[in-house]
């Protein structure tokens, strides 16, 4: 995105963004000069300048026969905008928190897009108070590692279920080929995340352009997901104890799943 696009994302109109960027490139200038520099129509330039001055993005210097304009430095403007947005967010949070919550539902909600899925996962981890179970492939782990480490640092139990050894001293790591089978996506970079036995996020095909996930607070689905995750953590120890004897009591499909553990 260009500087003009970024300013528009922060609430500037297209003409305001063009005029401000032009002021940064050359100032002080008159309204007539700025119109030529920025491409803002002469019929609109003084209205646009008035808005820039009002929002604290530009300064004016009236003289006897003409008014000249200069920009507020970009760093100062962005610091002011950051402060304003933080205040707005804090106020919105207070107002929204005061609204009585509707009754909890057991709906399953869909989330589309890798970035949206990861953002939701990080929010869940940040909200954790007691325990986090997360099953994922090692390739996905780096995108959640910082959030999981932060949760561990504040005393949350973090249990990571994955398919290969990873370095995560802040939590308990269980290496088992069943970690991804829990979400029905064995061998693909999916993910399952349970937070405080209260909510679960299950994703599939995270590497696909149209990554999808489902999120719910349904007590039954959360319970089932967490129990599978808990059981998975003991699979390696069970395999170590039973060894080759385990293969004699398994059907073909289960034998194929556990074979990697026996051959490690």
**pLDDT digits 0-9 by tens, 166-190:** 899 888 888 876 544 444 444 455 8
Percentage, residues of the chain above pLDDT 90: 48
> In the structure, what pLDDT confidence band is assigned to residue 142 with cuts at 50, 70 and 90?
very high
Average pLDDT, the chain: 84
Going by pLDDT thresholds of 50, 70 and 90, the confidence category of residue 264 is: low
Q: Does residue 100 lie within any of the structural domains?
A: no
Domain membership flag for residue 89: no
pLDDT of residue 128 exceeding 70:
yes
Same domain for 231 and 138? yes
Calculate the CA 169 to chain-centre distance. 23
pLDDT (average), residues 76-86:
91
The set of residues, in sequence order, having a beta carbon less than 8 Å from that of 146 and lying 6+ positions away, is: none
Q: pLDDT at position 207, please?
A: 67
Tokens of 48: 């646009």
Nearest residue to 105 (alpha-carbon basis) of 31, 3, 215, 9: 215
Instruction: Look up the domain containing 137 and give its range.
Output: 108-262
Give the confidence band of 16 by pLDDT, cuts at 50, 70, 90. Answer: very high
Same domain flag for 9 and 139 = no
Least Cα distance to 159 among 234, 60, 80, 72 occurs for 234
pLDDT (0 to 100) of residue 187:
44
In what helix (H) or strand (E) does residue 242 lie, and over which residues does it extend?
helix 219-242
248 versus 23: which is more confidently predicted? 23
Q: What is the mean pLDDT of the segment spanning 120-148?
A: 92
CATH code of the domain in which 28 resides:
1.10.10.10
Domain check: are 63 and 118 in the same one? no
Residues 34-55, mean pLDDT to the nearest whole number: 93
* pLDDT per position as a tens digit, 227-251: 887 776 666 667 667 766 766 777 7
Q: What is the C-alpha separation between 147 and 202, in angstroms, rounded? A: 18
Q: Which of 52, 75, 98 is the last residue of a domain?
A: 75
Burial 198-226 (b: 16+ CB within 10 A, else e): bbbbbbbebeeeebbbebbbbeebbeebb
Q: Indicate whether 226 belongs to any domain.
A: yes
The C-alpha atoms of residue 169 and residue 219 are separated, in whole angstroms, by 31
Domains identified in the chain, total number: 2
- The pLDDT assigned to 258 comes to 64
Residues 84-112 have a mean pLDDT of: 83
Residue 114 sits in the same domain as residue 225: yes
Residue with tokens 């561990």: 152
Whose structure tokens read 């539902």?
105
Q: Is residue 42 part of a domain?
A: yes
Q: By mean pLDDT, which of 102-106, 144-148, 214-218, 260-264 is the weakest?
A: 260-264
Q: Are 179 and 162 in contact (CB under 8 A)?
A: yes
Same domain, 116 and 221: yes
Domain boundary among 57, 75, 93: 75
pTM reported for the whole predicted model: 0.61
């Amino acid at each position: 995105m260009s500087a003009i696009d970024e300013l528009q994302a922060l609430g500037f109109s297209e003409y305001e963004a063009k005029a401000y960027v032009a002021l940064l490139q050359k100032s002080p200038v008159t309204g007539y000069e700025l119109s030529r520099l920025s491409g803002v129509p002469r019929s609109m330039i003084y209205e646009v300048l008035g808005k820039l001055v009002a929002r604290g993005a530009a300064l004016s210097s009236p003289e006897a026969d003409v008014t000249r304009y200069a920009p507020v430095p970009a760093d100062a403007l962005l610091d002011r905008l950051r402060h304003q947005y933080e205040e707005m967010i804090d106020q919105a949070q207070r107002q929204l928190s005061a609204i009585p919550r509707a009754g909890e539902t057991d709906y399953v909600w869909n989330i589309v897009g890798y970035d949206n899925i990861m953002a939701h996962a990080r929010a869940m981890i940040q909200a954790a108070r007691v325990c986090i179970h997360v099953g994922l492939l090692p390739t996905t782990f780096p995108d959640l590692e910082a959030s999981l480490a932060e949760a561990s640092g504040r005393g949350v139990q973090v249990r990571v279920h994955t398919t290969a050894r990873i370095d995560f001293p802040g939590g308990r790591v269980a290496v088992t080929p069943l970690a991804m089978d829990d979400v029905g996506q064995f061998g693909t970079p999916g993910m399952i995340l349970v937070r405080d036995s209260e909510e679960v996020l299950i994703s599939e095909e995270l590497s696909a352009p149209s990554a999808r996930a489902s999120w719910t607070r349904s007590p039954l689905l959360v319970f089932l997901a967490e129990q599978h995750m808990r059981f998975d953590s003991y699979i390696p120890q069970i395999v170590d104890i039973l060894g080759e004897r385990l293969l004699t009591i398994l059907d073909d499909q289960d034998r194929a799943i556990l074979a990697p553990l026996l051959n490690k």
